[in-house]
Amino acid sequence: MAEHENLVSSTQIIIKDALDKLGFDEGMYELVKEPMRLLTVRIPVRMDDGTVKTFTGYRAQHNDAVGPTKGGVRFHPDVDEDEVKALSMWMTLKCGIVDLPYGGGKGGIVCDPRQMSIHEVERLSRGYVRAISQIVGPTKDIPAPDVFTNSQIMAWMMDEYSKMDEFNSPGFITGKPIVLGGSQGRDRSTALGVVIAIEEAAKRRGKMIKDSRVVIQGFGNAGSFLAKFLYDAGAKVIAISDAHGALHDPDGLDIDYLLDRRDSFGTVTNLFEDTISNKELFELDCDILVPAAISNQITEENAYDIKAEIVVEAANGPTTMEATKILTERGILLVPDVLASAGGVTVSYFEWVQNNQGYYWTEEEVNEKLREKLVKAFDNIYTLAETRQVDMRLAAYIVGIKRTAEAARYRGWA
C-alpha cells in the first residue's frame, strides 16, 4: 500500500506544480487533488464448491467537470483504495491530453482471476456491476478493460447492466466484443498508441523505428501487442520480460515465436533456461526502453544505469519522480505514461461515440483518428516542454489538467 500511497502523493505534487504554472489558486488544487467520489463495495460470490466468498471492490471518479468519468476495471490481488485513486487521477490527465469530453475514473476488485474458474469470474463481474450500478452509466461513468480483464468480462458486465436498465446499453462500457458494439482496433489501441509515441519521440532524436534496438519490460496485453507492432516495423526487439524473468538476444528475438508460446497472462520466459534478471534488463544497451509492466521500476537506484536514448512509459507510473529528474538531466527523452498510454482511452471514446450514433467505423478509420489525436497531443506536449524548459512529464500534466481546471472554474466549483 505504501507504494500506491507514493503514487498518489507524487501525482499530487506534479498536479500542484502544473496548476501553479497555469496560474490557478490553492482552491483549484484542493478540488482536484483527490477523487470527487470513491465507492467501496463488498461482493458476495457463490464459488463452484458451493461456498460463498466475499470480495472487495472499488470505483473512483476523479472529476466530472468536463463530462462523464471514464476508466478501466482491474482484477488483481494487489488492488487497493490508493491505487484506484491514483489511476483515476491519471485518467483525467490522459483525457485532457487527447482532448476527450471525459474526466477520469478507475475501478478494481481484490481477487486473483488466475485462481478462479470462468464461472466464478463471471459471477464476480456481474456482482460488481450490481454493486456500483448507482454511480455508473453511459452518461455518468463508463468502465473499460484493464489488468486481467478482457472483452468477455466487459460483455458480462454490459449484459448485467442492460438487464438492470431493462434496455440494451452498449454505451455503458467499452472494450466489448465487436458483435456487442465493440470498436474495431480497440484490443490493440493502447499498444498502437505507444508505437505512435515511440515514432514521434524517435523523429525528435533523428531516428527511425526500423533497426532500432528496443527493450520491453512486460509481455502482457500491451507489451505483447507492442512487441509485435515494433517487430513488424523492422525494429530489433532485443529483450522482453514477464513476471518470471527476461529473455535477451542482441540480434533480436523472434517475437512471432514467443507470441505463439505465451499464455493468456503473458508468461513465456518459464519455457526457457537462459534468462536474465529484471535488473539486467534495464541495464541493456539499447536505443529505446519501454517499461510496460508495473509501477516504480525506474528509480534513483537504477536511473544512472539506463543506456537507452529514449524511454517510453507504456505502464502506469513506472518511473519515480527522482528518476524522471535524473533521466531528463542525462538528456534521455522520457515520454510519460499519461501521454504514451492514452491510445486505449482514445479508442474507448471512439467506441462510446459509435455506440451513441449506432454507426460503426472501419479499423482504418479508427487508426487514422487515433494517430491524428496522439500526434497532435505529442507535439503539444513536446513543444510546451521545450518552450517552458520543463520535463515531458510536467508538460503533460500542464496540458492534461488544464481542461478539467477550466471546466471546474466555469462551473463555479473553484
| C-alpha cell at position 271 | 519455457
Residue 359 three-state SS: coil
CA geometry: angle 66, 169, 349, nearest 5 deg: 40
**CB of 311 within 8 A of CB of 334?**
yes
**CB of 7 within 8 A of CB of 83?**
yes
Q: Check whether 221 is labelled as a binding-site residue.
A: yes
* Residues 329, 233: Cα–Cα separation, whole Å: 30
- Number of neighbours of residue 3 by Cβ within 10 angstroms: 15
CA distances from 82 to 78, 101, 108, 215, 305 (A): 11, 25, 11, 30, 30
Strands (DSSP E) found in 146-233: 213-217
* Residues 140, 172: Cα–Cα separation, whole Å: 9
Q: Check whether 348 is labelled as a binding-site residue.
A: yes
List, edge to edge, every strand of the sheet that includes 236-242.
Answer: 245-248, 236-242, 213-217, 288-291, 310-312, 333-335
* Residues 157, 171: Cα–Cα separation, whole Å: 12
DSSP state of 133: G
Q: Check whether 94 is labelled as a binding-site residue.
A: yes
Nearest to 5 by CA among 80, 99, 76, 67: 80
| C-alpha cell at position 270 | 518459464
| C-alpha cell at position 250 | 542482441
**CB of 180 within 8 A of CB of 170?**
yes
* Residues 248, 198: Cα–Cα separation, whole Å: 21
Which residues, at least 6 apart from 150, have a Cβ–Cβ distance to it below 8 Å? 175
Catalytic residues: 106
Residues making up the binding site for NAD(+):
190, 221
The annotation places the binding site at 70, 94, 190, 221, 348
